[in-house]
Structure 1
Amino acid sequence: MTHQQNYGHDRLAHYTFHNEVLFLKCWTNLNLKWVEPEKLSQLYFNRFPQEQNMIHLNRCADDRHRKMLSVNVTCDNIKLPNLIIVGPQKTGTSALLSFLKLHPNVTSNLNVEGSFEEMQFFGGTNYKKGFEWYQSQFLQAADNHQIIVEKTANYFDNPVTPHLLSSMLNPDSKNHELKIIAMIADPVDRAYSWYQHMRSHNDSIATKYSPEKLFSMLPGDPEYEVTNRLRQRCLKPGFYAEHVDRWLDYFPPSQIILIDAKAFRLNPTQIMDQLLIDLNLPTSNFNYATNLRYVPEKGFYCTIKKGKTKCLGASKGRKYIPISDSLRSQLNSYYAGHNRALLKLLNRYKFNVPGWLLNF
């Protein structure tokens, strides 16, 4: 009825609405009832519970939305990331971010209280703060910053993140400049590293149970439930095919960059130089050979700033007891099906296959 001529002017809108109700009452079996808006919303969400969670959109991405904004709100100089490092955890994402930020045309978000470099926005605790809060974390980005990057390492395996991220940053798939980076490590090494990470933080389960005990428990074991949260955080991020396939539901392969985490750790210069090309960043006056240095005491590469070597904190590259052969064999068997699925997916979409996966 809103398409009728002169709707909203004079008395036609009221007339049309009134007669629509009379028509339904007289000529259909529909029983119309009136309830307060708040109660109506409760009835709606009881019927469609999947729609209870709010999805934030980019208010400036659509001309129709911009016209609805208050005169006090402007879309001028809105800065949003066009590169998201999604994880997973314990694959080298912090090093990747620090290396990227060496380039003069790259910047990232402000540090967030409680989570430092990570925004924890899409599917995280900060999502309820909305679009305004998110975009305010990038206000320092200058015009020469060709790449604005955000890194949150648990985006990768969060089942709601791809949808939420796409809705705000990739509306209608028009933002083809947006890139998603995931680091693909051997899932056995990643799972063991996460266990040791939690143990170093005095997690009660990790300090009580050995990795052999933790990963061998089965449903029905007396201690299975109490240990399951840690076990799942160790194991599930390594279901790479499942997670990458979910990201592909919202982003085409051309917008997703998968990096071999082991190759990155051993030869970051080569990986980063290629990444600059993939991101169309200028390389004529910048190269990583003169900006990265291997530090034997740390066991990994660090950045060089103004002639001084700067490494990540003590929590990065932590040394711990090597994984036993028996546990590696056990976890290799556990991940075998997932790895074969990943290899099939990578070949289907013509992604590069990481070296550790070639034997599958």
Structure 2
Amino acid sequence: MAFLLVSAFFLAAQTHGAPKEYSQQGEGVVLETLKLEIGLASNETENYSSQVKPPGTNRRIPQSIIIGVRKGGTRALLEMLDIHPEIVVAATEVHFFDWDENYVKGYDWYRNLMPFSYEHQITVEKTPGYFTSSLAPERIHGMNSSIKLLLILRDPTERVISDYTQVYYNRLESHKPVQVIEDIVIRNGALNTKYKAIQRSLYDVHMANWLKFFSLEQIHIVDGDTLIKDPLPELQKVERFLNLPPRIMSTNFYFNQTKGFYCIRSDGRERCLHESKGRPHPVVNSTVLEQLHAYFKDHNQNFYRMVNRSFNWH
């Protein structure tokens, strides 16, 4: 089961969602990204429609969705799950439940963006924007109230820095002006809590919306920090959550010293995440880090109570 890595897709995935407050030109970045992603989605639809249907297969609405979080490790999780012979994955972020312009196209449009699969296989799509969308939980529930959801999270402060880093490099590559992270995170001497990267890390706020429509038993939380350091245990938990036989093994991973993270070995080939993944984070002023840690502390504790689980976050 081969998963096609398309460099252009990764660029689109990396550029989506650049916060407006990053600079006055932020909206331009988002607009360019939307155009690129819409083009990719259109091409993907054409590619899927031209595929020869293997006997006994059909396109199916996903039985599981990776709902987020942005910069939490969704791409790594999807590609690692793709190792499993009973999982097939959508090749692109669909943005069906969080973008009105896609949602109005209906379930048939959504289904046609899914790969062909056999009855015994589970179709998985991932769109990180779902977790922070106020619309996605109710819409997904309306499609399938018993669906199994995968949520991958990491330390919220690290997620903010990674979010900033993504936008920073995208703007550099586009020859657009950039700002140091301290000038974005701090405004008028105080933490800029309206910064979208910070808002995305308020896991308790977003989780409350999902728990209005889904039981906690339907949402499996993957520890993104652990997945990076030791993938297999986290993936084995996902296999159990999805009621799949254990097929992902330690031999499916090898540590790439050059890249500094685990790469995948399956189907007789080796592959690593795109070079845009694992970019070095900026050194952030310690005072700013302390302010972020302090701001997230109560939100983290509240989240732990909601999910009956704690994480090794600051």
Which TM class, normalised by the smaller chain length?
Answer: 0.7 to 0.9
The alignment covers a number of residue pairs equal to 256
Residue 92 of structure 1 pairs with residue 73 of structure 2:
yes
Match of 1:106 among 63, 87, 94: 87
TM-score normalised by L of structure 2: 0.75
Residue 355 of structure 1 pairs with residue 301 of structure 2:
no
CA distance in 2, matches of 1:339, 1:295: 32
Aligned to 2:94: 119
Residue 192 of structure 1 pairs with residue 165 of structure 2:
no
Aligned to 1:33: none
Match of 1:166 among 117, 132, 141: 141
Match of 1:320 among 281, 287, 300: 281
Q: Which amino acid aligns with 1:167?
A: G
CA distance in 1, matches of 2:238, 2:178: 41
CA distance in 1, matches of 2:287, 2:127: 33
Are residues 207 and 325 of structure 1, via their aligned partners in 2, closer, same or farther at CA, if it must alter by over 3 Å? Answer: farther
Question: 1:139: Cα distance to partner?
Answer: 5.3
Aligned to 1:300: 261
Question: 1:299: Cα distance to partner?
Answer: 1.2
Aligned to 2:245: 282
Unpaired stretches in structure 2, ≥5 consecutive residues? 1-56
Are residues 312 and 208 of structure 1, via their aligned partners in 2, closer, same or farther at CA, if it must alter by over 3 Å? Answer: closer
Q: Which amino acid aligns with 1:142?
A: Y
Residue aligned with 1:201, SS: helix
Question: 1:325: Cα distance to partner?
Answer: 2.1
The structure richer in strand per residue is 2
Match of 1:345 among 281, 306, 311: 306
Q: CA contact under 8 A between 2:156 and 2:296: conserved in structure 1?
A: yes
Q: CA contact under 8 A between 2:254 and 2:265: conserved in structure 1?
A: yes
Match of 2:110 among 124, 134, 141: 134
CA distance in 2, matches of 1:321, 1:216: 16
Aligned to 1:41: none
CA distance in 2, matches of 1:79, 1:183: 23
Q: Which amino acid aligns with 2:304?
A: L
Unpaired stretches in structure 1, ≥5 consecutive residues? 1-75, 112-116
Residue aligned with 2:160, SS: helix
Q: CA contact under 8 A between 1:293 and 1:309: conserved in structure 2?
A: no
Residue aligned with 1:303, SS: strand
Q: Which has the larger radius of gyration?
A: 1
Residue 247 of structure 1 pairs with residue 214 of structure 2:
no
Aligned to 2:51: none
Q: CA contact under 8 A between 1:88 and 1:153: conserved in structure 2?
A: yes
